[in-house]
Amino acid sequence: MSATANRVAVATTSELAADAAAEIADLGGNAVDCGIAAAMCSINTQPGVCALAGSAYVTIWGQGDKPITIDGNVAVPGAGLPAGTKPLLETVELEYGGGIETLVGASSVAVPGTLAALYRASIDHGSLPWHDLLQPAIRATRDGFPFAAACHYFLGYAGDVIYGRSEDGHNALHNADGSLRDVASTILIPHLADSLSAIADEGEQIFYEGEIGQLLVDHVQSHGGLLTREDLKNYTPVVRDCLLVSAGDWQIATNPPPAIGGANLAAMLLGFGTDKLNSWDESSQRRLIRTQEAVMRFRQQNLDLADDVSKPVAEMLRLAAAGELLSRYSSGSTVHTSAVDGAGMACAITASSGYGSGEMPKNTGLWLNNCLGELELNRHGLNAGPPGKRLPSNMAPCAARSNTAVLAIGSPGADRITTALHQFLVNFLQLGLDLEQAVARPRIHLRIGESDAELSVEPGVDMPDTAFALRQYESINMYFGGVVAALYDEHNGFDAAADPRREGGTFISPDN
């Protein structure tokens, strides 16, 4: 590939994060450096949507290398505690997303892995010092950052019942009269910039073995949770070979098991087929719905409660490749950054902290995850397995490569991640839409419940007749994910697109 290595294209969740990537590109950073800088900015300036003490996956595909995913997913806590230790159970119901029940408080906090994964990616694949990559996020959190509309929307449901649990957190998000601050108002979270500065100076160690880790453990245990020093000390990110799926001239690399998001996406690609399409006609829309139904039903019946998903994932992919999945099974809060560079490297980072536990240990500015309490994803709840076991995840950061191009893509959106990414890939690879059109085109999503199913549809979709209950949206909506994509093509140069469903930002470095 012919462009200079430090030319990059980045698509991410905010202009603030895109500016962070631009700053690192000016220092000569590669796709991984720019991706980490943007991701750290997004993770720490999107309260309610994400937070650092959560989970992340980093998919990296360098020119001439095999693609890998660094697994920084959360794990079951409780290492070193006496057998039978019971946490305090706190459940809340939110009207968000049509109504959800989730666990909050210290009992819902799983062992966080985001920082470990990003640090490993920096050390193994970055070209700049770790300290430099965190400076944009430190500056943004020290000076204050604008309250994003996506955060404001979610916190309209969860601002009091979840994020009102800590004094510092509540005051940062609310006015003196208790009302939620306005969109675009300046948010300043006490102590967060100090924590990030310490992490910049000392790396992951201060979080997993040092002072910050001790503050996290002391807080969780004093409020009835299971997180221990041993959990943090034992945590390591796992480097895994990606799942690979072919689509025409492209190879698509995505997140492998034990996460299930990448496997679901691979099954959708195989089940739908990868031949070129002329348009989204009635036949192709009907096949899309059947593909979503088949994959979602297989997941519900075979993956969600499996102790080890490797065998059922292999069976799902075998059935999809053989064309049997549709016939057999017809009738899950995140930020993402995508980056590519002129040396042919792609980096895709997806991070989540669940709905948030609402817990913020004093003097840290760090909200803790509630990933143990995401009941629609972690259906085992607090009985998720032995300490150290990775929890289920919908996240599916992807890299793709052809003979002349490299692509990084991903999306937030819970179980809509895989359906959003699949429809983007059909639009881009099979219909031949450009990056912006492929991201913006209206989407559908089929939700499979325990006893019902509902098809959500954005305006502009030419829907075939269907037996499913139908929810028609009046405009494109953040419910359907927020795909961000970055592309480098030898013939056409760089491109980047951020989803209009969410506030997003893009950056393409200029020619030198």
Tens place of pLDDT for every residue, the chain, 512 residues? 444 557 999 999 999 999 999 999 999 999 999 999 999 999 999 999 999 999 999 999 999 999 999 999 999 999 999 987 877 778 888 887 667 888 899 999 999 999 999 999 999 999 999 999 999 999 999 999 999 988 998 899 888 889 988 999 999 999 999 999 999 999 999 999 999 999 999 999 999 999 999 999 999 999 999 999 999 999 999 999 999 999 989 999 999 998 889 999 999 999 999 888 999 998 899 999 999 999 988 888 888 778 888 998 999 999 898 888 776 654 536 899 999 999 999 999 999 998 899 999 999 999 999 988 886 665 666 676 789 998 888 899 999 999 999 999 999 877 889 999 999 999 999 999 999 999 999 999 998 877 788 999 999 998 888 889 999 999 988 889 999 999 999 999 999 999 999 889 999 999 85
In a domain, 498, yes or no: no
- Helix ranges, 27-176 (H): 31-44, 114-125, 130-133, 135-143, 149-158, 167-173
Q: Are residues 235 and 296 in the same domain?
A: no
The answer to whether the bond into 258 is cis (omega within 30° of 0) is yes
> For the chain, what is the radius of gyration of the CA atoms?
21
Q: Are residues 350 and 328 in the same domain?
A: no
Q: Are residues 98 and 122 in the same domain?
A: yes
Is residue 198 within 8 A of residue 190, CB to CB? The reply is no
Considering its fold, how many domains does the chain have in total? 2
Q: Are residues 233 and 154 in the same domain?
A: yes
Domain span at 163: 8-239+336-383
In a domain, 479, yes or no: yes
Q: Are residues 321 and 377 in the same domain?
A: no
Q: Are residues 270 and 364 in the same domain?
A: no
Q: Are residues 199 and 230 in the same domain?
A: yes
In a domain, 500, yes or no: no
Token output for 189: 């979270």
In a domain, 396, yes or no: no
Q: Are residues 327 and 198 in the same domain?
A: no
Q: Are residues 142 and 277 in the same domain?
A: no
In a domain, 249, yes or no: no
Q: Are residues 58 and 135 in the same domain?
A: yes
Angle between helices 310-321 and 261-272 (to 10 degrees): 10
In a domain, 263, yes or no: yes
3-state secondary structure 287-302: HHHHHHHHHHHHHHHH
Q: Are residues 313 and 352 in the same domain?
A: no
Q: Are residues 441 and 456 in the same domain?
A: yes
